[in-house]
Amino acid sequence: MKKLLSLALALLMCIACVSALADTVAMDKLTLQFVPSKDADVIITGTKNLPELLKAELLKQGYDVKDIEISVGTSYEATGEAMAAGTIDIGWLPGGTYALYSDEVEVILTATRAGLSNDSTDPKTWNGEANKTLKNGPEVTFYRSLIYATPSAYGKELAAKVNAGEALTWEDLEKANWAVLKNSSSAGYIYPTLWLQDNYGKKLTDLPSAVTLSGYGEAFAQAAAEAVDIIVCYADGRNDYEAAWTLPIDQADETGKQGMGREDSIWNELNVIGVTPGIYNDTVSITKANPAVYNPEFIAAMQNALINVINTPEGQEIFSVYSHTGYAVATDSDYDGARAALKIAQ
């Protein structure tokens, strides 16, 4: 009798396994891409364990993915274009980039992050080693862009004026050499444009001297070399480049960022001269061009899988490359504000 029961139980387990396998959807490849808001090698190194973790979580959701390929776009727009064409399935897009491509891609998750110790709109309160920002605030769904004066001769003049409590004029700003990102970058273009419009009735396109860079790593390198007077970046950018700022140029920090050869602290040398309004957090978005992934079943599976991954210690470490601490299910209407901002900036 016991043998019969054991055989029956084993048979039921086999049937359950066969049924589960029959319900599993096999996928040959899933392509993921990050925008180059950090150095490409830093992103690739930081996310190297993501494919295996994501495969395991997707399998629990009923999708057996053979290969997950991770890459970094050459620009924000390059990732948007690749997703629009269907050559990239899942992309980590800032709100502004999502707004630009939201006809061709759909947001599925919004990142949450630890808020900073400072959220003041008064720029001088961000400056100096004593005002170093810490990532110890409550979980938030927004961040800010900051306008930074570099340690160039003219950058120091601008910083001194702000730190003395004086307001900058448009004439002060138009004399400066600016470095910005492409026009789909929320922190690197769109919101700095809004800041100029709100305070001076101007836009970045009104500046006589502004160079467009491919990413924030290049912006910090230009600042350290005193090649420009003003850069723009997300509010915790100095945290990310703090170690590299004072390393010799022939060394790299633990994340792979190249040393910039400065002697003084980044908090003393890179001074905030402007603070933008809040920017809705980065998205995880999905292409609409590939029906194998753009369907309610797979979207739900991917949402659950990424939420589960980021809620593990390994996942926290992986997504710390973007300062993401969690993911929340998102809808397109969450980014109506980003669309409005993009329209103004363009």
Which percentage of the chain shows pLDDT scores above 90?
Answer: 78
Task: Report the range of poorest mean pLDDT among 126-130, 193-197, 259-263, 333-337.
Answer: 333-337
* Calpha distance 86→95 (Å, rounded): 20
CA distance 107 to 296: 13
Supply the pLDDT for residue 38.
82
| pLDDT for 158 | 98
Q: Are 221 and 128 in contact (CB under 8 A)?
A: no
Q: Who wins on pLDDT, 289 or 40?
A: 289
Give residue 77's Cα distance to chain centre. Answer: 14
Q: What percent of the chain has pLDDT over 70?
A: 94
pLDDT for residue 16 is more than 70: no
Cα–Cα distance for residue pair 216/182, rounded to 1 Å: 11
Average of per-residue pLDDT across 216-228:
97
Alpha helices in the chain (DSSP H): 2-23, 40-46, 50-60, 76-85, 95-101, 153-163, 170-174, 191-200, 216-224, 237-246, 266-269, 296-310, 313-319, 336-345
263: left (phi over 0), alpha (psi -120 to 50) or beta: alpha
Residue 7 confidence (pLDDT) above 60: no
Residue 21: pLDDT band by 50, 70, 90 thresholds? very low
- Alpha-carbon distance 170 to 165, whole Å? 16
The whole-number average pLDDT for the span 73-91 is 96
What pTM was computed for the model?
A: 0.72
